[in-house]
Amino acid sequence: MAYQSEMDGDGREVIDVVIPYNPRKYQDIIHRKLKRYNVIVAHRRLGKTVLSINQLIASALNNQRANPPPRYAYIAPTYKQAKNIVWDMLKYYVKDIPGLEKRENELAVDLPNGARITLYGADNPDSLRGIYLDGCVIDEVAQCPMDLYGTIIRIALSDYEGWIIFIGTPHGKNHFHKLFLRGSTDRNWYCESFPLSRTHAISPKELVEMKKDMTPSEIAQELECSFDTSGNDSVIPLEWILACQQQEFKDSPVGQRICGIDVARFGKDCCSACIRQGYKIIYHDKWFMQDTQYTTERIESLWRNNLFDIVNVDGIGIGGGVVDNLRHRNVPVFEVNVALASRNSKTSRLRDELWWKLRAVVETHQLQIPRDSYGEELVIELSTPTYGYLSGKIKVEDKESLRDRTGSSPDEADALCLTYSDFNIFSSSRINAAAL
């Protein structure tokens, strides 16, 4: 890469710099497509670290802001990895820049225009607090803490609208997978996967030898960029969901307006409301950190404003209190205890049955998913849960497992599932008794 010497608008000389980096085909494709937010899923040996370092160098060299001076960061899963693997690489690519200052103790280089590139480890997040960043690369995202971006890096990028590149190889369906889904559905993000079968970056002869020493799941994950190394175990495949997001119906929705409420009280989970009529989601909302009285009043307000005909509430735990409160207020509520045994022989619990019912709806494209921010979040939540088998019956991944794996639970997707519930037999007799 070459940077030509010229005079800028303030009469300052722009230094002529040649970087010993000649990007390969797919590295060049990535460089050209980058936006402010980027998710790159790359197989081993594509050269993603080299690509990332040189993107940082290019951006830093071309940033002419004088005050405060530009700041860039490369973050590896551990500080030791940054020091042992990336530090020598960074020094190699900047070695011909005149006026360069190397800060060995800080793993940082200062460029002649005042910009600084620093290497960090995600195992010491406190070292990143309080800084500002013009650009940042988080490498091997799956091995970094799931809250690193939201609690630290996103804030650091806000001062000067800095850019971010998440890059790595899959390691199951965790927070990196969630970022990949986010990037796949948001037009402001650049998101792309580069499996070996696409790039052919490893010679056929070497690939034959590698496959002798790797299991099929290792090949799928490390070389073919598969987030699912145990088979196609997503409850609802992403391609089905995206097809529903593109679905357009000519006729207006008909039928009952059914409200689903996934109840949460305090903590990271939210209380979610979804109202569906036929194929269309006609209303959605969510709220955090509120007691059952607040939730009851909010649902009752939807009812008084004639937004739904019936409401299905997840009655487990604190949801039971919301159900009782709504009954006392004569709101047509049905309690759905998703922990009860399923009514069919295929699924284990009612929650599994509901998700499998929604799966069938999405597979046949009989749902129109909005193309707004809510729809983008719904795409992520619907495509994230996996399933397995318990005593020969389908068991959908539970909220606790999802929270541990991704940092969040599918509250809005669960609320949508509840709109497909017809388990009224578990609560109708209680409603009739109250009416007497």
Secondary structure (DSSP) of 380-428: HHHHS-BEEEETTEEEEPPHHHHHHHHSS--HHHHHHHHTT---GGGTH
Rounded to an integer, the average pLDDT of 345-372 is: 94
Contact yes or no for 279/368 (Cβ under 8 A): yes
Q: What are phi and psi of 319, to 5 degrees?
A: -65, -30
CA angle 432, 434, 436 (to 5 degrees): 75
Is the pLDDT assigned to residue 321 strictly greater than 70?
yes
What's the rounded Cα separation, in Å, for the pair 178 and 47?
Answer: 23
What's the rounded Cα separation, in Å, for the pair 314 and 418?
Answer: 8
Tell me the two tokens of residue 346. Answer: 């295929």
Residue 332's identity, in one-letter code, is P
Q: What pLDDT sits at residue 174?
A: 81
* Structure confidence by residue, pLDDT tens digits, 243-265: 999 888 989 999 999 999 999 86
Q: What pLDDT sits at residue 265?
A: 64
Rounded to an integer, the average pLDDT of 337-356 is: 93
Q: What is the DSSP letter of 109?
A: E
Q: What is the dihedral of CA 422, 426, 430, 435, to 10 degrees?
A: 20
CA angle 128, 133, 135 (to 5 degrees): 115
Contact yes or no for 221/169 (Cβ under 8 A): yes
Query: CB neighbours of 197 closer than 8 A, spacing ≥ 6?
Result: 224
* Structure confidence by residue, pLDDT tens digits, 388-399: 999 999 999 998
* Structure confidence by residue, pLDDT tens digits, 196-237: 999 999 999 999 999 899 888 788 889 999 887 544 578 998
| Nearest C-alpha neighbor of 247 from the set 355, 354, 362 | 362
Please state which architecture CATH assigns to domain 2-223: 3-Layer(aba) Sandwich (3.40)
**Position 432 confidence tier, pLDDT thresholds 50, 70, 90:** very low
What's the rounded Cα separation, in Å, for the pair 151 and 23?
Answer: 33
Q: What pLDDT sits at residue 435?
A: 29
Tokens 């998710």 belong to which residue?
Answer: 39
For the domain bounded by 238-435, which CATH number is listed? Answer: 3.30.420.240
* Structure confidence by residue, pLDDT tens digits, 72-91: 999 999 999 999 999 999 99
Rounded to an integer, the average pLDDT of 150-157 is: 95
Three-state secondary structure call for residue 377: helix
Query: CB neighbours of 87 closer than 8 A, spacing ≥ 6?
Result: 107, 119
Q: What pLDDT sits at residue 307?
A: 96
For the chain, the domains span: 2-223, 238-435
* Structure confidence by residue, pLDDT tens digits, 1-55: 544 444 455 555 556 778 899 999 999 999 999 999 999 999 998 999 999 999 9
**Position 426 confidence tier, pLDDT thresholds 50, 70, 90:** very low
